[in-house]
Structure 1
């Protein structure tokens, strides 16, 4: 019996240590923003574009630098195909992009994926029209305990006014190093990002509204 109690005690200590580690991992500079949010999307005039869906989540998380007001927003290809790094002024309760000028924003990783087929020689270029090359937050709010879920649980509310910039993406050909070729004896080429060009006539603005995902089944849509 004493041996069993000792094993249980050691196991409890180990679990406690693990929990502490998990807490440390979540101690980020953007903790007040971080998490997954269920959401709907509307045009500025209120026209519904995408309604709530339990598989449709907008995720906010810290960058590798883990500094305040610098974070990634990712919709996991559900509505916008957006994964971009944002730089904010303010705090989680009231934030906006430091600049909404196209030149000051970072590229949406989903919009600069290299095209197919691959190039066949050096000196080739291709220009591809792409939606949502960059994005800016005009206004955002994450309100602590500001929402009531379907299951009557209290959680944080989300409001984001976003503008999405589209245009053209230019790729140029580059030789693949020998060690990365499928056949070392055969020349191989790949596309690399060369430039992005903004089309001011293609701007789109949307309102994202929702709440922090609770994980409770009674809150599922």
Structure 2
């Protein structure tokens, strides 16, 4: 009986050790110090609050290359998603943020290698799709000739300044947690959609859209927040 107990104990310990190793492999990455899920608020450079703390988070994580100088920044809940009214007109200024940036520095003080529009990371959230079909917004414009222009869409982004500080933040319940600070530059322009004929559905639809960059509406957005704990008392 004693031998059976020893064997069973060895098996259990072996399974636990293996499971821990597998979990470590999943979570360990070249950007481990940068990675996390964060409650956040967003401000303009003038201090104007764009979004207060709430039921939304942002994620930072490694790229598929898993190298120490590439980081994804992802607005999970699409807080800054492009908005349109019932007629398909643009009503917001900030597109959903999902950018990959090549970094310099370390997690306590970092920035993008290239802060120009040419070097900025593409917004992988994609373009906002027009809310109305060709020919529906204006009855005087036939579907085959319709054009839809969505201005002030932020198609690229770069990190001007970033910091992740251990234990420097305070969770909603008052516990010390890591903090994050990101000063992002978002590059603006317009997307032009043209109607094309879809033979399969025998109707006019929008093409994939073409982005044109222009500098005037570029914007600085500051994101500050605290690490997500998963505890109910820290939820907003």
Measured in 2, the distance between the counterparts of 1:43 and 1:115 equals 26
Counterpart check, 1:108 vs 2:133: no
> What is the CA distance between 1:216 and its match in structure 2?
1.9
Report the CA distance between 1:130 and its aligned residue: 5.5
Cα deviation, residue 112, structure 1? 3.1
- Superposed, 1:201-212 pairs within 5 Å as 201-212=216-227
CA spacing shift, 1:51–1:128, aligned 2, 3 Å: closer
1:167-217 CA-to-partner distances (Å, cap 9, x unmatched) read 12357899x9xxxx8x9xx9xx99456x53212111121211111111122
Match of 1:122 in 2: none
Alpha-carbon distance change, 111 to 199 in structure 1, aligned in 2, over 3 angstroms: farther
- Choose between structure 1 and 2: higher helix proportion: 1
TM-score (norm 2): 0.74
| TM-score, structure 1 normalization | 0.78
Structure 2 partner of 1:52: 53
Provide runs of 4+ in structure 1 moved above 6 Å. 116-119, 171-174
Instruction: Write the mapping of 1:173-184 to structure 2, written as runs, cut at 5 A.
Output: none
Residues 1:220 and 2:235 aligned together: yes
Q: Quick one: which of 164, 168, 178 aligns to 2:190?
A: 168
Number of paired residues? 211
Q: 2:171 aligns with which of 149, 171, 183?
A: 149
Distance 1:74 1:209 in 2: 14
Q: In the superposition, relative to structure 1, how do residues 128 and 49 fare at CA in structure 2: closer, same or farther (>3 Å)?
A: closer
Root mean square deviation, CA, Å: 3.3
